[in-house]
Structure 1
Amino acid sequence: MIEVGHNRDQKLLHQRVLVMHPKGSYQEFILNTNSDWLFPLPINVSNAEAATLTAGPGVALALTEFIKQNPSDHLVITGANSVIGLILCQLLGSTYPGLTPIVSPDSQAYFNQSLPGYPVYSIEHLQLFHGRTLIIDIAGSEPLLQQLIAAVPRASIASIALQTSNLNVPFTFVHEDFNHQIYCHLIKTVASHKLWLPIGRIFSFAETKKAQHYAKDHHSRGRVLVNLN
């Protein structure tokens, strides 16, 4: 922080902070007027990790709570190699009952490298499930969901990518409700190395257009960031 107003702690001056803003924070200077959106950063949380905290971990936590409130025999996760998918798998743990991350063949090596010891499946090798199955949809592909429903007769879907669905199974759209304490907890968890945040490539500001094309044209390999310095 380069300046502290009358309603802010003077000790924050010249300290590293994460400032979140509901209207976006892509600007050189941010005027923070709500302390709930301001987070001091420990020295062992990098700038890249702080930037990654703004999109993904909060949604993964919301999914974790939904999963706990809706127990099932099998838990299928589409888009498990995405940033949110990798964080969700970490929050659940590799031994979570019935955990079935679905990853395309092109991304399985990346998933295995990111989370060694976690189970991983492709849609082609998924066996017929019995019992209640909760499908966590991160990929947002209705054709993929249709394939899964054919293999899991007693399925329900919770999606962060689709708000509605024409599929003939119980469907819930899950979204994050911002909570200051949740992000304080996430920062402490990252600082203590209990949560690993997937960071892919970091581009310079001059390479912003290249970064946009890279994120669009490549499989998810961690968060794509732009360095404004």
Structure 2
Amino acid sequence: MLNQRVLVMHPQGSYQEVVCNTNPDWLFPLPDTLSNEAAATLTAGPGTALVLANFIKQHPSDQIMMTGANSLIGLILCQLLGPAYPGLTPIVSPASQAYFHHILPDFPCYLANHVKTTTGRRLLVDIAGSPRLLQQLSATQHPAEIVSIALQSIELTVPFTFVHEDFDPLIYQQFIQDITEQKLQLPIDRSFTFMDTQLAQHYAKDTHSRGRVLVDLRH
């Protein structure tokens, strides 16, 4: 595969200085019609969103409240479920409401204090990782269960489950195809040059999630 464009993944995650490929299952050839930038959005996100989608489908609920819906994982999860999924309730901050509507205009979204109380079983999906927000929603919405990808525990009496991705190369082959065919939208916020890596780190930390922040190592 020398001189071919590939995406290198690693089951232990991509947030590290060196990703050493020791397994051909972690190496994904990229079609010519898929840009480097679009391929880079696949790291640390789609697989986790799929885990949440499978959990939701295995735990039928009348309402699925989702914190951090404007994050990349939240946006992917919404697309995996679809706008007509019963009881889907994406929750965003006031500053992110317009952005969410811009990326997914066919989906509703709600502020935390505007979520309508419904009857039946309520599942709270935590992507934002904010204990304060979970406590607020638990006090007003009384979820039957909480599932989180960001927190491993919380001081609430509600049944709580922490989930994480189990790396599956077949899943990423499908994601590459879905992005290439524009069946899945993974937004990109900004791309920085290698010399501006420190600026990119501060930008990603200090601004609202608006898609992937990338660094181009070629410049």
Normalised by the size of structure 2, how large is the TM-score? Answer: 0.94
Q: Which residue of 2 aligns with 1:206?
A: 195
How far apart are 1:129 and its partner, in Å?
A: 2.4
CA contact (8 A) 1:130 1:152 kept: no
Q: Are 1:176 and 2:165 counterparts? A: yes
CA contact (8 A) 2:13 2:44 kept: no
Q: Deviations over 1:68-116 (max 9, x none)?
A: 1111000110000001000110111011100100001110000000000
Aligned amino acid, residue 207 of structure 1? D
Out of 29, 39, 57, the residue aligned to residue 50 of structure 1 is 39
Q: Are 1:121 and 2:133 counterparts? A: no
Q: Which residue of 2 aligns with 1:61?
A: 50
CA radius of gyration, larger in: 1
| 3-state SS in 1 of match to 2:7 | strand
CA contact (8 A) 2:62 2:87 kept: yes
| 3-state SS in 1 of match to 2:41 | helix
CA contact (8 A) 1:103 1:121 kept: yes
**Quick check: 97-106 or 15-24, which moved more?**
15-24
How far apart are 1:32 and its partner, in Å?
A: 2.9
How far apart are 1:35 and its partner, in Å?
A: 0.6
CA contact (8 A) 2:5 2:30 kept: yes
Q: Are 1:72 and 2:61 counterparts? A: yes
Out of 126, 130, 136, the residue aligned to residue 141 of structure 1 is 130
How far apart are 1:50 and its partner, in Å?
A: 1.2
Out of 87, 100, 108, the residue aligned to residue 111 of structure 1 is 100
Q: Which residue of 2 aligns with 1:4?
A: none
Q: Are 1:219 and 2:208 counterparts? A: yes
Alpha carbons of structure 1 residues 23 and 73: separation in structure 2 relative to 1, 3 Å: closer
| 3-state SS in 2 of match to 1:53 | coil
Structure 2 CA distance for aligned equivalents of residues 192 and 16 of structure 1:
18
How far apart are 1:55 and its partner, in Å?
A: 1.2
Structure 2 CA distance for aligned equivalents of residues 23 and 110 of structure 1:
27
Q: Are 1:189 and 2:178 counterparts? A: yes
Could you tell me which runs of 5 or more consecutive residues in structure 1 were left unpaired when the two chains were aligned. 1-11
Q: How many residues align?
A: 216
Q: Percent identity?
A: 62
How far apart are 1:33 and its partner, in Å?
A: 2.5
| 3-state SS in 1 of match to 2:146 | strand
Aligned amino acid, residue 164 of structure 2? H
CA contact (8 A) 1:72 1:134 kept: yes
CA contact (8 A) 1:202 1:225 kept: yes
Structure 1 CA distance for aligned equivalents of residues 84 and 184 of structure 2:
16
CA contact (8 A) 1:18 1:40 kept: yes
**Quick check: 15-24 or 121-130, which moved more?**
15-24
How far apart are 1:154 and its partner, in Å?
A: 4.0
How far apart are 1:165 and its partner, in Å?
A: 1.2
Q: Deviations over 1:155-205 (max 9, x none)?
A: 310000001111110100010000111111111111111001121111111
Aligned amino acid, residue 89 of structure 2? T
How far apart are 1:48 and its partner, in Å?
A: 1.1
CA contact (8 A) 2:146 2:159 kept: yes
Q: Which residue of 1 aligns with 2:70?
A: 81
Alpha carbons of structure 1 residues 100 and 180: separation in structure 2 relative to 1, 3 Å: same
How far apart are 1:45 and its partner, in Å?
A: 1.6
Aligned amino acid, residue 84 of structure 1? I
